[in-house]
């Protein structure tokens, strides 16, 4: 399993990962066709220490066969809670092989989740993560290459994909406030600007620019946007004063791990902060067969995240 989204509800920690399967017809390419994900499980911890607690697998809670508009590839997901309902947000390719956002609903954090009949209007790309504050829910999303973000500009599909190069500003992720019913967008998605110390957008040739896997958490009144740099294999973070940004780049959270991808979440639990992520150590480096990991996350006195060495051969 991979791409863990982690939440604490009613004192219990829940993990919502994607689920890797060995592909029947293996073709490794930049579109990610070698990632064969077709269902979701929910995990939870029996205890307050993620390093030692028993992990409970609540079983399969949603299958691609359950989704009326499904094509293929259920990549990462996230779950939000509102008014006693749990909303699972997932990327799925439709029958035209275009990623859309689906929503499934449950009365329990461990599922099962019942999918809505149609994808969210105006949705695109992958890696949907939800941050809640004061009754408002903000969704961060977007991923390049196989995640198809380069095929869009101003929320409209392009005739030809465009990837910035060199000193051009890097492609940003997106943020959008969700509707009251949690089933759609309340506004047009906006770009999430990540700036350098001089206030300029990170450029396409910067190894620490955004690629995929947005996550948002709050620490000491500041908003921490963390993300994967994709083909340069880092987890990085930037800090801002509101959920929309802009965010100023601060540094690396985790150096490269075994396997091509790095995808994570950050949560406070049991009086400590934790980084959940994945690597491909147990599969011997097969980047399409990943396993979940957790380690403690620490800050210095100025709120900077202390970097973690990721490689563990």
Catalytic residues: 3, 212
Phi-psi region of 233 (alpha: psi -120 to 50; beta: other; left: phi over 0): left
User: Which H helix or E strand runs over 139?
Assistant: strand 136-141
Q: Could you say which DSSP state residue 232 is in?
A: G
How far apart CA 60 and CA 63 sit, in angstroms, is: 7
> Quick one: 145 exposed, middle or buried, by C-beta within 10 A (0-12, 13-18, 19+)?
middle
Of 47, 92, 40, nearest in space to 269 by CA: 47
How far apart CA 230 and CA 57 sit, in angstroms, is: 29
How far apart CA 196 and CA 210 sit, in angstroms, is: 12
DSSP 80-125: EEETTEEEEEEEEE-TTS-EEEEEEEESSTT---EEPSSPPTT--S
How far apart CA 12 and CA 47 sit, in angstroms, is: 8
CA 239 to mean position of chain CA atoms: 17
CA distances from 287 to 64, 206, 229, 282, 305 (A): 22, 24, 16, 10, 26
Provide φ and ψ at 131, rounded to 5°: -120, 130
Pairing relationship of beta strands 85-93 and 99-106 according to DSSP bridges: antiparallel
């Amino acid at each position: 399993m991979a791409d863990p989204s982690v939440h604490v509800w009613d004192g219990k920690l829940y993990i919502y990962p994607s689920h890797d399967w060995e592909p029947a017809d293996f073709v490794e390419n930049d579109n990610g066709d070698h990632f064969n994900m077709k269902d979701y499980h929910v995990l939870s911890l029996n205890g307050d220490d993620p390093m030692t607690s028993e992990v409970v697998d609540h079983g399969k809670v949603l299958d691609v066969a359950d989704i009326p508009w499904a094509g293929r590839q259920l990549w990462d997901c996230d779950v939000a809670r509102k008014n006693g309902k749990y909303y699972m947000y997932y990327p799925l390719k439709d029958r035209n092989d275009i990623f859309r956002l689906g929503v499934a609903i449950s009365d329990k954090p461990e599922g099962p989740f019942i999918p809505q009949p149609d994808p969210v209007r105006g949705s695109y790309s992958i890696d949907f993560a939800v941050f809640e504050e004061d009754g408002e829910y903000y969704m961060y999303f977007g991923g390049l290459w196989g995640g198809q973000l380069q095929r869009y500009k101003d929320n409209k599909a392009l005739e030809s994909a465009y990837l910035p190069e060199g000193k051009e500003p890097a492609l940003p992720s997106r943020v959008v406030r969700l509707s009251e019913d949690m089933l759609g967008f309340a506004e047009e998605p906006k770009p999430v600007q990540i700036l350098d110390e001089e206030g300029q957008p990170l450029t396409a040739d910067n190894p620490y620019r955004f690629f995929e896997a947005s996550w948002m958490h709050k620490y000491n009144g500041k908003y921490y946007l963390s993300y994967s740099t994709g083909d340069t294999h880092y987890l990085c973070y930037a800090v801002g004063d509101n959920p929309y940004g802009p965010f100023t780049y601060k540094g690396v959270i985790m150096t490269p791990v075994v396997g091509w991808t790095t995808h994570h979440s950050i949560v406070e639990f049991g009086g400590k902060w934790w980084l959940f992520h994945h690597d491909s150590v147990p599969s011997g480096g097969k980047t399409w067969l990943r396993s979940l990991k957790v380690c403690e996350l620490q800050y210095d006195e100025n709120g900077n995240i202390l970097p973690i060495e990721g490689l563990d051969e």
